[in-house]
Structure 1
Amino acid sequence: MSKVKAAIIGTGNIGTDLMIKLMRNSDLLELAAFVGIDPASDGLKRAEKLGVPVTAEGIDGLRQMPGYGDIAVVFDATSAKAHARHSELLTADGKRVVDLTPAAIGPYVVPTVNISTHLDAANVNMVTCGGQATIPIVAAVSRVAPVRYAEIVASISSRSAGPGTRANIDEFTETTSRAICEVGGAEEGKAIIILNPAEPPLVMRDTVYCLAQTDDAEAIRASVEDMVESVRAYVPGYRLKQEVQFERIGPNAAAGLPGGPAEGGLKVSVF
């Protein structure tokens, strides 16, 4: 079976990382174009060395490339602001768009939670890196108990955050917070991102807190562990650092949380 031709727009850390992973690991996609706006960018230079067709003329350059008509899927790893125009042009050309920015023009997609719902969408949004790591955990809790409030803290290496990521910090937190509710199933959600300057760079670490309305801690534990296995099937290395932790929260403590119920609840902490 022939591979589906794909293009990547955005030659920063995210786009370049995706290029390498796609070329090394994908049995389904063939990278047909790598698109940027800076001819001197490291990402474009690496793509050229790997023999990938490139353009430094952005979306307009991509649409003028000889092989554009054969491209079926376009990954956009630029910025939320730029994605609005990209999406309009690409969907008009009949391309399937995978949005790696916080623009969220299309529906939020977290594969283990809701990918089957949006298989026919012209544009899908992959939330954020922190969202992909944490929303499955929120969903794992919410599928066995009502979640009144969920909060995630994503700590990433400062070196891995390029100018595009830094320029979209506000959009990162807003998009992730919304997806915690819309995809994760929490009634209220909050997201925090930390750029860790430690050297050597640390791997991404995430923390999830949920306030659940249940006394069945074992059901939550089993659901979270099952979800971790599901995510690890496509994200090697994804794992719990500690056992799932539980704490009964009384009415006074719960009242200080957004959406905190008067009767309190079960605090679930996942690291």
Structure 2
Amino acid sequence: MAKIQCMIIGSGNIGTDLMIKIRDTSEKLAVAAVIGVDAESEGLAMAAKSGFATSCKGIEGAQEFTEWDDIRIVFDATSARAHRHHDVICRAAGKQMIDLTPAAIGPYCVPVINMHEHLDKPNVNMVTCGGQATIPIVYAVTRVADSVPYAEIVASVSSQSAGPGTRANIDEFTQTTARGLEKVGGAKYGKAIIVLNPAEPPMIMRDTVYTLSFNAKEKQIEESIHAMLADIQKYVPGYRLKQDVQFETVGIDKPLAIPGYGKAIGLKTTVFLEIEGAGHFLPKYSGNLDIMTSAALATGERIAEFKYGVVA
């Protein structure tokens, strides 16, 4: 069966990396078109060189393509604000949307946790780079504990891997990631922080995940986390622990005082992650972008199987 035709909206870092991933690695998807708003962007130039239809007129320009009717899946790698406009047009045309912005019009999708629940949805949201990296760890704790009343993540990325789209969506990043920790990760209350680090040479993406849980043994949590790592590494090989999982029992005599939540006790778990990119387009230190495009590709391929019966 022929590959499913796709379009990428956004010719920046994320869109270009996704284009190369689909072009060079996918057995189920094919890039038909790439659109943007900057006629001089490197991404549009690379897309044109690869033989894909291109336009710098945005979604309106895409509707002029002869390929428009054949496009089944649209990946949006622009901004939360722009995605709302794109969704209206693409949904009316019956096209599947995979949203790589923090707009969160559709349900949050983290492939290793809940992708199977949303294969029939017209729009799925890939949360954020920090969400894709950290929500699975929170879920790994949640699935072996009676409850996880609190989860907090700190995502540290190189400032060089944070383009204008990322910088324009900082507020949406923190809000969407925090809600993802709750809705998908299973925490009762979630908090997210992003740090853009200007260090030279650029640092590889690192994430710290804190959870506070009840009625789970340390061994259970550690085994669950390692199982989750193995699942994620199937599509993000550079996803790994930076050091061993750490535990601390927080008793009623010295409860944690968590701003916005209050006093809390339980088993505190701390996980230090490092995410190295595959280097398809961006430097390997841009693991924050690579995990987003890898998750989006995995989701697109699974939707191609479910909706269109594509088998590699």
Is the TM value for this pair above 0.5? yes
Match of 1:178 in 2: 179
Superposed structure 1 runs of 4+ greater than 2 Å apart: 250-262
Match of 1:35 in 2: 35
8 Å contact kept, 1:107–1:118: yes
- Structure 1 unmatched runs, 5+: none
Counterparts of 1:5 and 1:50, CA distance in 2: 15
Task: Determine whether 1:68 maps to 2:64.
Answer: no
Match of 2:306 in 1: none
Counterparts of 1:36 and 1:9, CA distance in 2: 6
Tell me: higher relative CO, structure 1 or 2? Use CA pairs within 8 A at least 6 residues apart.
2
1:52 Cα deviation from its structure 2 partner: 1.7
Task: Determine whether 1:190 maps to 2:191.
Answer: yes
SS of the aligned residue for 1:64 comes to coil
Counterparts of 2:216 and 2:14, CA distance in 1: 41
1:257 Cα deviation from its structure 2 partner: 5.2
8 Å contact kept, 2:249–2:268: yes
Count of residues in correspondence between the two structures: 270
Alpha carbon RMSD of aligned pairs, Å? 1.2
8 Å contact kept, 1:148–1:259: no
Please identify, of 89-98 and 200-209, the stretch whose mean Cα deviation from structure 2 is larger: 200-209
What amino acid is the match of 2:130? G
8 Å contact kept, 2:144–2:216: no
SS of the aligned residue for 2:38 comes to coil
* Pairs within 5 Å for 1:135-214: 135-145=135-145, 146-214=147-215
Counterparts of 1:21 and 1:199, CA distance in 2: 27
Counterparts of 1:112 and 1:39, CA distance in 2: 37
Please identify, of 253-262 and 20-29, the stretch whose mean Cα deviation from structure 2 is larger: 253-262
8 Å contact kept, 2:142–2:186: yes
Q: Deviations over 1:219-259 (max 9, x none)?
A: 10110000010010111111111111100112333243544
* Pairs within 5 Å for 1:70-109: 70-109=70-109
What amino acid is the match of 1:217? E
What amino acid is the match of 2:112? T
**Among residues 248, 254, 257, which one is paired with 2:256 in the alignment?**
254
| TM-score when normalising by structure 1 | 0.97
- Structure 2 unmatched runs, 5+: 273-312
Match of 1:110 in 2: 110
Counterparts of 1:70 and 1:152, CA distance in 2: 41
8 Å contact kept, 1:243–1:270: yes
Counterparts of 1:106 and 1:54, CA distance in 2: 26
8 Å contact kept, 1:148–1:260: no
8 Å contact kept, 1:10–1:35: yes
Counterparts of 2:200 and 2:75, CA distance in 1: 30
Task: Determine whether 1:59 maps to 2:48.
Answer: no
Question: Once the two structures are aligned, what percentage of the paired residues are identical?
Answer: 58
Q: Deviations over 1:47-67 (max 9, x none)?
A: 112222111110011111101
| TM-score when normalising by structure 2 | 0.84
Counterparts of 2:161 and 2:4, CA distance in 1: 29
Counterparts of 1:111 and 1:170, CA distance in 2: 24
1:156 Cα deviation from its structure 2 partner: 1.0
8 Å contact kept, 1:188–1:258: no
Counterparts of 1:8 and 1:119, CA distance in 2: 19
